[in-house]
C-alpha cells in the first residue's frame, strides 16, 4: 500500500463526471507536489459531490433510513393525537357533557364542547396544533369517530365489570325501568356481587360489596313475560350463568314483584335460589304514602305544604317577598311522591321558616289588590295559625327524622340485609315509643306556637251524632275534648299506621334475614353449638348446590378461629342479596343529564356508552388509554399502517 487514496471519491465518486480524476480512486504514488494536488482535489466538484454522499452514508441517512424515520415520526404523531382525542372523549363523557354543536368545524361558533376543547388545547399543545394546521381529510374529529371511541371505552369498562362478576362466586340482578325524554322505556342494568381483596401473600384482607352499572337497554314491551325474557337474554349475553344468580332486586310494581306471574316469580322458577327482595327504600316511602292516604288530617297537612310552594313559586313578586324574609336557606321545597326525601326537605324548610312565611302571607293579605291572591293567602294563613298545624309539624318532623336516617343508609351500595333489618327494627321501636310521648310533643309545639304568635289551644269542631229515638236507652258517646280527638284520631292512628306498615312491608326481608342471621358475629359468639348446628343445616339444605354437608362443622370451627371455605361462601351469599334498587334509581338521574331536550335524538348505543362512562367514571379513569388506541388502530388496514400496527 504505497499509494494515497481519497476515501469519499473511492467509494462514491461519479466516474462519468468530467471533473472526475481516476488517480484518486486508484491511488497516487507521485509524491512530488502532493500537498498542492490534495488542495486542488478538495476543491473539485466531483470530490465535493462524493463527500456529500459519503456524509449521508456515514450518518445512516439513506433513503430507506429516512423513510423509516419519517414513518416512525408519523406513527408517534398520530398515536399522540389519538391519545389526546380519547382523553377528551373520556373527560366529556365522565362529566355528562354534550359533544356536538350546531357546527362541525373547529374554530366556528357553536361547534360543540368536543371541538371547542380540542381547539382550546391546541393553543398550548403543539401536537393538536399541528393536527389542526394540517391540510388533510384525516383528523379523527368526526362524530363517527366520537361514537367509535365511546363504544371502545364503554366496552372496555363493561368487559372489566363482567370479568369481576365471573370471578365472584355469585351475583344478583338489580333492574328498574323509566321513560326517557323520547318516550322510550329504558331498563337500567345493575349487578351486585362480592369481591375479596388480598395482600401480596394471597391472604384476604377485606370484602367489598359492588353494585356495578352495565348499561341501558330499551324495552318495547312491559309485560312480565317480555321483561323476564329480556333480562334472561341480557344475563346470557354477558356470559353469566343463571344458576349463579342468588338475588333479584326490583321495585314494588306488580309486573316485577307479582307472586304468581311477575318477573321475580318467572326467574325464581328457573333458579329457585334467586330470592326476590322488595326494594327497602321504595317500601319505606310507601309506608309514608299509606299514612298520608289513610289519615285525612295528614293528607290535608301535606296538601297545604304543596299549596304553599305553588302559591309562592308561581309568582316572581311573591317569591321575592318571601326571599326578603328568608334571610338564609332553606327555601320552600316542592313535594314529590317518588322522591324519598322530599317530605323531609319540605317539612324542614317549613319548620325553620315558619314565622317568615306567616309574615309574608300577612303582607299579601293586607296589600294585594288581587282578590284570588288574597283569598288563597288568607286560607293558607288560617291553616298555619291553627295549633293543630303546628302540632302536626312537630309530630311529622319526629317521624320523618327517624325514617330519614334509615332511608339514607339504605341507599348505600355496601349495605347488607342485616344492617337494613337492624336499622328498621330500631326505627320501629323508636316510632312505637313515640306513641307515649304525646305530652312532650305537645310542650314542644306550644313553645314553637308561642314564639310564632299562635294560640296554643285545639279548636272545637262540631261533631255529628246519631239520632236517638224516644224508646232507645243507649246514647251516642263520642270524644268531645278536641285535644283527645286529635290524640286518638290523628296522633295514635298515624303512629300505629306507620309501625304496622313497616312490620308488614318488611316481613319478606325479615324472612330472608333470619336464614343468615346466625352468621352475624354477635350471634356466632352468643349462640349455642346446637342452635348454630341447626341453623347451618337449614341454610345448607336451602343452598345445597353451594354449601356442602360439612358446613355446620366448619361453622363451629370458624367460631374457634379455624379456617373454613363454606362459611366464607355463606357470607358471600348473604352479602350478594340486594337490599334496594337505589343504584338503578341513581342511573336514572344520570340519564336525565345525558339525554336532555337538546340531545333527545341520541342513539341507544351512544346513550348506553355515555352512561357507562359517567356512572363508572372512577373505573374508566383507571383505564390504560394506550390499549384503547391499539384497539382503535386495529379496526381497518389503513389505520394499522398509520398507527404502526401492520
> H/E/C letters for each residue in 510-558?
HHHHHHHHHHCHHHHHHCCHHHHHHHHHHHHHHCCCCCCCCHHHHHHHH
What are the φ/ψ torsions at residue 215 (nearest 5 degrees)?
110, 170
Neighbour tally for 507: CB within 10 Å: 10
SS3 248: strand
Which H or E run includes 83? helix 63-94
The span from the CA of 515 to the CA of 496, in Å, is 28
Of the listed ranges 47-51, 114-118, 263-267, 361-365, the least confidently predicted one is: 47-51
Q: What is the pLDDT of residue 462?
A: 63
Furthest-apart CA pair in the chain: how many Å? 164
Weakest mean pLDDT among 298-312, 380-394, 449-463: 449-463
- Count Cβ neighbours within 10 Å for each residue of 531-547 and write b for 16 or more, e otherwise: ebbebbeebbeebeebb
User: Residue ranges of the domains in the chain?
Assistant: 7-58, 64-134, 149-278+584-640, 283-461+478-505, 518-575
- In this structure, what C-alpha cell is assigned to residue 172? 344478583
Q: Is residue 29 predicted with pLDDT exceeding 80? A: no
**Is pLDDT larger for residue 35 or for residue 245?**
245
Residue 337 has pLDDT above 60, yes or no: yes
Please check the confidence at residue 460 and state whether its pLDDT lies above 60.
yes
Spatial separation of the C-alpha atoms in residues 530 and 533, rounded to whole Å? 5
Mean pLDDT for 280-285 is 80
Query: What gap in Å lies between CA 565 and CA 581, rounded to an integer?
Result: 30
* 245 touches 235 (CB < 8 A): yes
Average pLDDT estimate for 236-253: 90
Q: Half-sphere exposure (CA, 13 Å, Cβ side) for 625? A: 16
Confidence class for position 562, pLDDT limits 50, 70, 90: very low
Q: Average pLDDT, stretch 596-618?
A: 92
pLDDT category at 171 given cuts 50, 70, 90 is very high
pLDDT value at residue 561: 45
Within 10 A of 344 (CB to CB), how many other CB atoms are there?
A: 21
Q: Give the residue from 439, 452, 396, 405 showing the smallest Cα distance to 424.
A: 405
pTM: 0.79
CATH node for 149-278+584-640 = 3.30.420
pLDDT in tens, 288-315: 777 777 888 888 998 999 999 999 988 8
Between the alpha carbon of residue 487 and those of residues 183, 214, 468, 511, 588, the distances in Å are: 47, 51, 27, 34, 41
pLDDT(450) > 60: yes
Per-residue pLDDT averaged across 82-90, rounded? 94
Amino acid at each position: 500500500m504505497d499509494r494515497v487514496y481519497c476515501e469519499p471519491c473511492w467509494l462514491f465518486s461519479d466516474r462519468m463526471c468530467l471533473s472526475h480524476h481516476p488517480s484518486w480512486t486508484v491511488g497516487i504514488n507521485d509524491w512530488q507536489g502532493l500537498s498542492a494536488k490534495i488542495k486542488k482535489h478538495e476543491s473539485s466538484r466531483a470530490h465535493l459531490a462524493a463527500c456529500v454522499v459519503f456524509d449521508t452514508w456515514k450518518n445512516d441517512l439513506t433513503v430507506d433510513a429516512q423513510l423509516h424515520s419519517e414513518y416512525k415520526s408519523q406513527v408517534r404523531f398520530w398515536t399522540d393525537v389519538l391519545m389526546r382525542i380519547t382523553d377528551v372523549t373520556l373527560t366529556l363523557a365522565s362529566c355528562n357533557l354534550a359533544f356536538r354543536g350546531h357546527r362541525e368545524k373547529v374554530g366556528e361558533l357553536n361547534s360543540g364542547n368536543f371541538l371547542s376543547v380540542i381547539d382550546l388545547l391546541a393553543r398550548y399543545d403543539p401536537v393538536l396544533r399541528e393536527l389542526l394546521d394540517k391540510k388533510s381529510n384525516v383528523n379523527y374529529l368526526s362524530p363517527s369517530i366520537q361514537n367509535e371511541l365511546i363504544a371502545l371505552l364503554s366496552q372496555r369498562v363493561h368487559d372489566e365489570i363482567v370479568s369481576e362478576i365471573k370471578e365472584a362466586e355469585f351475583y344478583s340482578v338489580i333492574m328498574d325501568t323509566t321513560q326517557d325524554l323520547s318516550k322510550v322505556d329504558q331498563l337500567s342494568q345493575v349487578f351486585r356481587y362480592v369481591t375479596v381483596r388480598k395482600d401480596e401473600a394471597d391472604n384476604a384482607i377485606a370484602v367489598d360489596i359492588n353494585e356495578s352499572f352495565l348499561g341501558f337497554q330499551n324495552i318495547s314491551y312491559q309485560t312480565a313475560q317480555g321483561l323476564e325474557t329480556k333480562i334472561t337474554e341480557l344475563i346470557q349475553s354477558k356470559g353469566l350463568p343463571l344458576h349463579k344468580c342468588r338475588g333479584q332486586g326490583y321495585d314494588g310494581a306488580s309486573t316485577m314483584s307479582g307472586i304468581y306471574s311477575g318477573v321475580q316469580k318467572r326467574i325464581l322458577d328457573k333458579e329457585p335460589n334467586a330470592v326476590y327482595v322488595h326494594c327497602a327504600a321504595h317500601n319505606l316511602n310507601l309506608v309514608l304514602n299509606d299514612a298520608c292516604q289513610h289519615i285525612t288530617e295528614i293528607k290535608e297537612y301535606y296538601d297545604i305544604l304543596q299549596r304553599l310552594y305553588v302559591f309562592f313559586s308561581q309568582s316572581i313578586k311573591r317569591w321575592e317577598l318571601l326571599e326578603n324574609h328568608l334571610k338564609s336557606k332553606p327555601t320552600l321545597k316542592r313535594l314529590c311522591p317518588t322522591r324519598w326525601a322530599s317530605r323531609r326537605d319540605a317539612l324542614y324548610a317549613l319548620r325553620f321558616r315558619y314565622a317568615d312565611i306567616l309574615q309574608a302571607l300577612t303582607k299579601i293579605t293586607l296589600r294585594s289588590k288581587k282578590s284570588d291572591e288574597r283569598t288563597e293567602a288568607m286560607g293558607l294563613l288560617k291553616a298555619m295559625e291553627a295549633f293543630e298545624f303546628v302540632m302536626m309539624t312537630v309530630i311529622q318532623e319526629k317521624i320523618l327524622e327517624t325514617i330519614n336516617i334509615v332511608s339514607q343508609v339504605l341507599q348505600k351500595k355496601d349495605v347488607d340485609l342485616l344492617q337494613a333489618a337492624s336499622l328498621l327494627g330500631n326505627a320501629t321501636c323508636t316510632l312505637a315509643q313515640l306513641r307515649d310521648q304525646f305530652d312532650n310533643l305537645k310542650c314542644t309545639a306550644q313553645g314553637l306556637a308561642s314564639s310564632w304568635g299562635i294560640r296554643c289551644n285545639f279548636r272545637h269542631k262540631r261533631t255529628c251524632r246519631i239520632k236517638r229515638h224516644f224508646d232507645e236507652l243507649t246514647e251516642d258517646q263520642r270524644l268531645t275534648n278536641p285535644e283527645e280527638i286529635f290524640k286518638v284520631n290523628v296522633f295514635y292512628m298515624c303512629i300505629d299506621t306507620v309501625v304496622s306498615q313497616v312490620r308488614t312491608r318488611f316481613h319478606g326481608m325479615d324472612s330472608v334475614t333470619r336464614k343468615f342471621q346466625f352468621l352475624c358475629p354477635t350471634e356466632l359468639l352468643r349462640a349455642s353449638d346446637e342452635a348454630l348446628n341447626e341453623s347451618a343445616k337449614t341454610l345448607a339444605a336451602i343452598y345445597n348446590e353451594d354449601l356442602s354437608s360439612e358446613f355446620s362443622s366448619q361453622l363451629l370451627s370458624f367460631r374457634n378461629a379455624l379456617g373454613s371455605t363454606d362459611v366464607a361462601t355463606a357470607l358471600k351469599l348473604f352479602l350478594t342479596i340486594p337490599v334496594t334498587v337505589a343504584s338503578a334509581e341513581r342511573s336514572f338521574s344520570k340519564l336525565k343529564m345525558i339525554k336532555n331536550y337538546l340531545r333527545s335524538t341520541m342513539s341507544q348505543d351512544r346513550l348506553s356508552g355515555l352512561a357507562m362512562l359517567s356512572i363508572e367514571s372512577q373505573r374508566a379513569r383507571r383505564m390504560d388509554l394506550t390499549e384503547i388506541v391499539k384497539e382503535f388502530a386495529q379496526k381497518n388496514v389503513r389505520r394499522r399502517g398509520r398507527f404502526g400496527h401492520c
